[in-house]
């Protein structure tokens, strides 16, 4: 007989009904982080450009997209995207209702939570190109931005537990 404690990690995607403002994203991520049982978090959405990308004002800095810092746990992160969806890897099935409750507390509008496979388990070609054959920390698999010069878009909120 298989029980929920026998199952491995569970992956879910939170899809809010609209893009999140930085304050709302910070509040939601902190609520989720406080519930415990979270192994990995990835936020996705369209890029927030730092300068006008095209047109007559090309290259002009966009002041409202500067210094968008949010605090998750005790870590300050620079927000580089409009938060459109949040993907989580949880320790087990029993953590899904906790995440649902955290979303209900933090989001004043509709959202959906979908269960599926969103993170990679094996190295991708990009992982191999960036880190070589051996990757010490398995939490970063599939989370590498191929265009990034360094790991500046990653933050470790806790030490590796493996």
In this predicted model, which residue has the larger pLDDT, 11 or 121? 11
Share of the chain above pLDDT 70, in %: 72
Domain co-membership, 65 together with 136: no
CA distance 4 to 124: 30
Strand bridging mode 69-72 / 111-115: unpaired
Domain co-membership, 114 together with 124: no
Structural domain harbouring 94: 7-118
Structural domain contains residue 1? no
Q: Is the pLDDT of residue 31 over 90?
A: yes
Domain co-membership, 79 together with 31: yes
At 125-143, the pLDDT tens digits run 766 666 667 766 666 666 6
Domain co-membership, 13 together with 93: yes
Provide the CA 11 distance to its chain's centre, in angstroms.
12
CA distance 86 to 105: 16
Q: What is the pLDDT of residue 162?
A: 44
As for how many domains the chain has, the answer is 2
Q: What is the pLDDT of residue 1?
A: 46
pTM: 0.76
At 62-112, the pLDDT tens digits run 888 777 888 888 888 888 888 999 999 999 999 999 999 999 999 999 999
- For residue 86, the cross-strand partners are 14, 43
H or E segment at 76? strand 75-78
Within 13 Å, how many C-alpha atoms sit on residue 19's CB side? 10
Going by pLDDT thresholds of 50, 70 and 90, the confidence category of residue 50 is confident
Which of 14, 24, 15 has its CA nearest to residue 106?
24
Q: What is the pLDDT of residue 158?
A: 59
């Amino acid at each position: 007989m298989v029980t929920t404690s026998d199952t491995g990690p569970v992956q879910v995607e939170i899809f809010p009904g609209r893009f999140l403002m930085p304050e709302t994203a910070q509040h939601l991520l902190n609520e989720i982080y406080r519930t415990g049982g979270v192994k990995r978090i990835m936020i996705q959405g369209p890029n927030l450009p730092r300068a006008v990308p095209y047109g007559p004002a090309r290259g002009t800095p966009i002041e409202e997209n500067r210094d968008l810092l949010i605090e998750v746990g005790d870590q300050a992160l620079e927000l580089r995207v409009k938060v459109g969806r949040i993907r989580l890897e949880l320790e087990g099935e029993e953590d899904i209702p906790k995440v649902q409750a955290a979303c209900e507390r933090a989001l004043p509008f509709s959202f959906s939570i979908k269960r599926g496979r969103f993170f990679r388990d094996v190295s991708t070609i990009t992982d191999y190109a960036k880190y070589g054959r051996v990757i010490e920390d398995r939490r970063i698999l599939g989370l590498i931005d191929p265009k990034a010069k360094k790991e500046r878009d990653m933050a470790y909120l806790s030490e590796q537990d493996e």
